[in-house]
């Protein structure tokens, strides 16, 4: 192991603690969202009209939960438009705070929270991560992140690629397009992924002989894709015959969102630091009259995220 990597990996052990056995406070029970299929509710005695409304409420909870967590996991960029150079590496320890909005969906006895956690109701999420970037020829760059959702059993892996369309000119800013895919791990029944296409601009300013400041901004288009495997909604001990009528899977959710990020990067010798803020303005998505495979109309509230980094370039 090279000496520059040793302190980074040692610190990563502290930043990304091992997941303990058993439920963590932010672990989720997706069955508490309710069944997304009207036939499950009808099997429990609901009328056809009520069953469809209850299934739509469950889909709204799942849509809000999946979208908010996906936006949180993919919140941080923490890099300018320029690359690290022809043969450079950048390794960083990062942290992010992102706001979420637990909401009760539905009315009466069937009302339920769209964040069905095991021990606490979150209003912001803390997401430490380890981030590695490697420059390639022709102004390309690849990278990856390992992200941990604090107080949960969940991790996410992110792969990214960036192409600097313009970089290194004295008078012109650096311009790049960044692509990233982030995938959630740790929840057996949940298939949650999020893709990003970011259009970035930054400008490096020298400070003294060994330091530089680089403000940067990004216009970000985010695509969330989520679904589940079949989940059992019947009580424990349900017979195999009855289990067929009390199980359902959430259909595939595909939703697109826009957000903006602005930040500042400081480098001095081999050390790099960065801080940024991300704003999501909120939006309404879904269908007014959904089919069984579609999601009803629901609104995501606006949110802010903040992220910071301490890294090393070599």
At residue 310, φ and ψ (nearest 5 deg) are -125, 120
CB 57 within 8 A of CB 65: no
Q: Closest Cα to residue 137, out of 182, 175, 167?
A: 167
pLDDT digits (tens, 9 = 90+) for 66-115: 999 999 999 999 999 988 865 588 999 999 999 999 999 998 888 999 99
Separation of alpha carbons 107 and 180, rounded Å: 38
pLDDT band at residue 242 using 50, 70 and 90 as cut-offs = low
Separation of alpha carbons 124 and 224, rounded Å: 19
pLDDT digits (tens, 9 = 90+) for 128-141: 999 999 999 888 99
Separation of alpha carbons 92 and 275, rounded Å: 12
pLDDT band at residue 207 using 50, 70 and 90 as cut-offs = confident
Domains of the chain, earliest start first: 5-313 (2.40.128)
Separation of alpha carbons 221 and 260, rounded Å: 9
Separation of alpha carbons 114 and 271, rounded Å: 41
Query: pTM of the entire structure?
Result: 0.89
Of residues 110 and 223, more confidence is placed in 223
The C-alpha angle 70, 140, 136, rounded to 5 degrees, equals 115
């Amino acid at each position: 192991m090279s000496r520059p990597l040793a302190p980074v990996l040692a610190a990563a052990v502290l930043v990304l603690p091992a997941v303990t056995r058993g439920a963590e406070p932010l672990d989720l029970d997706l069955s508490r969202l309710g069944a997304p299929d009207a036939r499950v509710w009808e099997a429990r005695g609901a009328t056809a009209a009520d069953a469809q409304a209850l299934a739509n409420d469950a889909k709204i909870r799942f849509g809000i939960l999946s979208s908010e967590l996906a936006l949180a996991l993919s919140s941080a960029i923490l890099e300018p438009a320029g690359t690290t150079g022809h043969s450079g590496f950048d390794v960083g320890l990062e942290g992010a705070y992102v706001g979420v909005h637990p909401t009760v969906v539905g009315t009466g006895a069937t009302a339920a929270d769209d964040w069905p956690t095991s021990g606490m109701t979150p209003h912001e999420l803390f997401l430490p991560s380890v981030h590695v970037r490697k420059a390639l020829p022709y102004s390309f760059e690849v990278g990856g992140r390992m992200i941990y959702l604090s107080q949960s059993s969940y991790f996410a892996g992110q792969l990214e690629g960036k192409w600097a369309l313009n970089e290194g000119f004295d008078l012109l800013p650096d311009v790049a397009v960044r692509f990233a895919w982030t995938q959630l791990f740790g929840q057996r029944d949940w298939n949650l992924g999020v893709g990003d296409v970011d259009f970035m601009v930054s400008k490096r300013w020298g400070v003294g002989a060994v330091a530089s400041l680089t403000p940067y901004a990004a216009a970000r288009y985010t695509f969330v894709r989520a679904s589940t495997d079949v989940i059992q909604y019947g009580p424990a001990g349900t017979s195999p015959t009855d289990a067929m009528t009390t199980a359902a899977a959430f259909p595939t959710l595909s939703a697109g969102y826009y957000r903006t990020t602005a930040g500042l990067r400081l480098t001095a010798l081999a050390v790099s630091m960065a801080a940024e803020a991300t704003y999501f303005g909120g939006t309404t998505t879904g269908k007014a009259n959904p089919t069984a495979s579609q999601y009803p109309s629901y609104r995501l509230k606006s949110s802010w995220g903040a992220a910071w980094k301490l890294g090393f370039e070599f």
